[in-house]
A = this chain, B = another copy of it.
């Protein structure tokens, strides 16, 4: 039952995640002229796409690795490597997303890191970096004691969900800010809800729905890998499939 629900949710989540990325690409392509890497406004356009793809969608996929029923049995090590590798890929996309906005700001002589969106965003990426390095050092490398791992695991799990929540707050404030900039002198201002405003607002709400589903699956106890030594009704299910 739990397994069937997991796969249904995984399919829904994958579709929603893909839609979040494609909607952001479509927004930047259709209303802002597409992408480049030359320091112009088209470089800035990579920023929302890379942040949504890295800091929200791939980050969520990486976080959900231990919810895959295949990861519940057998050695945990291969799943730890997948978890860390996917998070590293998410982190690389996120850093590229930051590079895009700094490159554009420096090219256009715009100050960096002044808005609350940027303060929260950079804090979120900093926490993500700390979380990854601490997770790598304590949970993946073999040297940390069981005592230290037990102490840090609830903190690692808490910050995993918190960083996603902060990323959502950053994405929402970022989309909001971008619309105030781009629809400032438009013939149809933001307040008259032109097509771009409705589309980008909807993209923001879609990102929220996606993240809420991810957070729900992360905390739902029936999808968690059983602790070592604990036998549940799920494990025989897995053996039956082998």
A residues engaging B (CB < 8 A)? 110-111, 114-117, 119-120, 123, 154, 158, 162, 165-166, 168-170, 172-173, 175-177, 179-180, 190-193, 197, 200-201, 204-205, 208, 212, 215-216, 219-221
Contact = CB atoms under 8 A, between A and B. Distances in A.
Contact of A208 (B114, B120, B158, B176): B120
A172 B169 contact: yes
B115 A176 contact: yes
Contacts of A172: 116-117, 120, 169-170, 172-173
Q: Is the interface of A mostly helix, strand, loop or mixed?
A: helix
A114 B176 contact: no
Contacts of A197: 114
Nearest to A184: B184
Copies per complex of this chain: 2
A46 to B, nearest CB: 20
B110 A191 contact: yes
A219 B158 contact: yes
A116 B168 contact: no
A165 B218 CA distance: 15
Contacts of A123: 205, 208
B115 A208 contact: no
A168 to B, nearest CB: 6
Contact of A114 (B111, B115, B120, B193): B193
A37 to B, nearest CB: 24
Contacts of A111: 191-193
30 contacts: A110-B191, A114-B190, A115-B179, A115-B180, A116-B172, A116-B200, A116-B201, A116-B204, A117-B173, A119-B205, A120-B172, A120-B204, A120-B205, A123-B205, A123-B208, A154-B220, A154-B221, A158-B215, A162-B215, A165-B169, A166-B208, A168-B169, A169-B169, A169-B173, A170-B172, A173-B176, A176-B176, A176-B177, A177-B177, A177-B180
A110 to B, nearest CB: 7
